Structure 1
């Protein structure tokens, strides 16, 4: 796009954006995986690697499969895929909370690699299916055959070990497991977690060394994060008896939607690897039914997390409530309701968006445009919603969201997240999933 005389520099072309994305991913490659960034996140993160594989397959398909293979090599024997796999070459104390804090080696079923004991949204089967579909080959089919039993084990872990509510949905035991760490969705259940801010004096936070503290979770947030991990760690990261002892137990719309989308993806993968897709379709249908039954509020017309400690829906209206749109079998009533919510003043989705999609209701009194998941715009949530809009017959809104995503990177580069009004880049620069998902949206109009 050329700028008119006197209007400033021309916006980057799609080819220039693509080169930026490839350079970002190449710069973050670590011999068998991609770090999210060279500053804030020097290890391997679970759902980051899934999103990274989605984009890498367009330019480096061998790396896309190696990304997933490396992550699943650290899978626990119970099927959990840890949310962090630590790089042993980094010095102790280079990241908080590091491997010495998690002490995974002391837990039954942990891998030889040092990892965390938590999980993240299971977007990996979807990533694996998209990687194969977009660059099909005998090599990708072999990669699927290796990954398939591990992906099935991941689903089994979540739907069996983590079904605290008894309805077939996975319960998260920490806000970090949602991927949206300090979302207002967690304020109420977090307020019930006893924590002493003074405990943080024993640690050095890594994130505020590289990012403005005003843009990150607070020390009180971190004190509670530490308290929740400590409770889980002291129980050996076991999931039996969670209802009776664990301080944070929530069913999350994003995690639940990803769980259902994974079964749909596995139903696509199954014929490629010689397995029966039928059980995956059946499980997907049950997950969607449970998600609607337990997390949809007909009064607000959107999805909310359920706090299992109180057995109540959490009232905050965040972008989490839009994520069930990724389910291809979401009933028409809920599809229409989610689209209405997305197009409301709270989120501002339209065919011609004048502002990016925020991560939290921009009309809410606790909307914070600079603080992490309490308002800023994130490429991964945008991408998930974009996919959902396309699958449910809203190409007009999908096109508007796609252009908004392109505008974010054209304005600020491949940042971790973005100001929901100005599009200014926030968090870490040269962020991998932003680059990767940019490649994916560039590849499809």
Structure 2
């Protein structure tokens, strides 16, 4: 472990201290095969967490970053999906809910190829994995080639994207739909409220919330919302996790989810090129998704991308951080990128005054500074936006956000999220993706944002 801490580091004392603290979080949260988000609240492996963690781990140990992604993909289903949780069999079932005995993946999902030797959830999370894999490869191409890293991961990641395109394009075009509020990763965002109103909550005695053992109720989703999450997951399980027959009473097109698929399609194109394969299909998919993202989700009047509710095919009138993340798309038209930057700096997100980007409109009717994704600022979404700003040449804004990110990460003991106004730590401390993305901002100069441009 000492070798990880002795790799080259930034030269200032403050940066060195921050880097060592971040490395210590990742070392402490390592299980031997993967990294838990938190030793208390999240004791298993989470899908998009592992992708962000691998992005940071590449600066400490490329081999360990590769293993992070490899261990996640070992739980991939035969239909291509990457489940949002891979359960550690050594962790008691009552440590987290919904637990393996709720999802019943190896039995309920058997017909569509759920693993038999591992228990997982049945839903997914944002497809940031190919971007993570490409960045890990680029950190040490020789080691990647020696271990056949891209050769092994490329077909698995391509199958993951194929699943999304084949089974989750539920609207009128190519955009991918999420079918549970946990899938976009922004669990109880106000953007889901309208669609969730149609879902009858599971009765309170149908579940036991382990999250309240580690978080204050005022920080977490309400019992009613949690009951709706349980109902949707139960319905999906009873349909055998088969998207062809599941009722999908909650189905929305989310800007961030589709943006990360676009960026990851571009990353798959780079992988294909590196492996001597055709990259055209990935670039074509990225182009078509970008065209439809703009055509279906862009609100020019509001200067932000919106969520589309597929039940009535209307845009949801809420401004959330999900609508800013399309800044990551290299081929996003300049006028839209400029409008997003204006929205970011304006009164709804006030990026010039807040240290991180709030998860929801500061003036919105549902704003709550401490309640999960209804206001608090998160480090992973700010990292995505910082990367997007750099890719569009908005270096002053990116530098301000980067500086705020690093300051808040250190002050908050690498918190899960923070109060957007005060910077006070909220949620879990020593959170893995916060530590990992801190390492990335400390160790990168921004050159890698240009590599994905088609």
Q: Same fold (TM over 0.5)?
A: yes
Aligned position for 1:299: 301
Report matched runs for 1:160-309 at 5 Å.
160-196=166-202, 199-242=203-246, 245-309=247-311
Report matched runs for 1:38-437 at 5 Å.
38-106=39-107, 107=109, 108=111, 109-112=113-116, 113-139=118-144, 142-196=148-202, 199-242=203-246, 245-350=247-352, 353-437=353-437
Q: Cα deviations across residues 302-345 of structure 1 (Å, max 9, x unaligned)? A: 10110000100011100010011111111222212211111111
Contact 1:348 1:355 in 2 (8 A): no
Runs of 4+ in 1 over 4 A off after TM superposition: none
The Cα of 1:203 is off from its aligned counterpart by 2.5
Give the whole-Å Cα distance in 1 for the aligned partners of 2:13 and 2:317: 40
SS of the residue aligned with 1:93? helix
What is the TM-score when the length of structure 2 is the normalising length? 0.92
The Cα of 1:400 is off from its aligned counterpart by 0.6
What is the TM-score when the length of structure 1 is the normalising length? 0.94
Give the whole-Å Cα distance in 2 for the aligned partners of 1:154 and 1:140: 22
Give the whole-Å Cα distance in 2 for the aligned partners of 1:251 and 1:368: 24
Q: Cα deviations across residues 228-272 of structure 1 (Å, max 9, x unaligned)? A: 001111110001145xx2210100001110111111111111122
Aligned position for 2:25: 24
Contact 1:261 1:327 in 2 (8 A): yes
Give the whole-Å Cα distance in 1 for the aligned partners of 2:354 and 2:182: 31
Matched, 1:33 2:69: no
Give the whole-Å Cα distance in 2 for the aligned partners of 1:356 and 1:32: 31
The Cα of 1:12 is off from its aligned counterpart by 7.5
Between stretches 113-122 and 86-95, larger displacement belongs to: 86-95
SS of the residue aligned with 1:222? helix
Relative distance call for 1:43 and 1:140 in structure 2 (3 A) is farther
SS of the residue aligned with 1:177? coil
Give the whole-Å Cα distance in 2 for the aligned partners of 1:312 and 1:328: 27
Give the whole-Å Cα distance in 2 for the aligned partners of 1:133 and 1:296: 33
Q: Cα deviations across residues 388-409 of structure 1 (Å, max 9, x unaligned)? A: 0010110111001101101111
Aligned position for 2:450: none
Q: Cα deviations across residues 370-427 of structure 1 (Å, max 9, x unaligned)? A: 0110111111000000110010110111001101101111221111111111111111
RMSD: 1.4
SS of the residue aligned with 2:141? coil
Give the whole-Å Cα distance in 2 for the aligned partners of 1:65 and 1:180: 26
The Cα of 1:89 is off from its aligned counterpart by 1.1
SS of the residue aligned with 2:324? helix
Aligned position for 1:8: none
SS of the residue aligned with 2:77? coil
Runs of 5+ in structure 2 lacking a partner?
1-11, 446-454
SS of the residue aligned with 2:377? coil
Q: Cα deviations across residues 124-160 of structure 1 (Å, max 9, x unaligned)? A: 0000111112232243561111000011001111111
The Cα of 1:45 is off from its aligned counterpart by 0.2
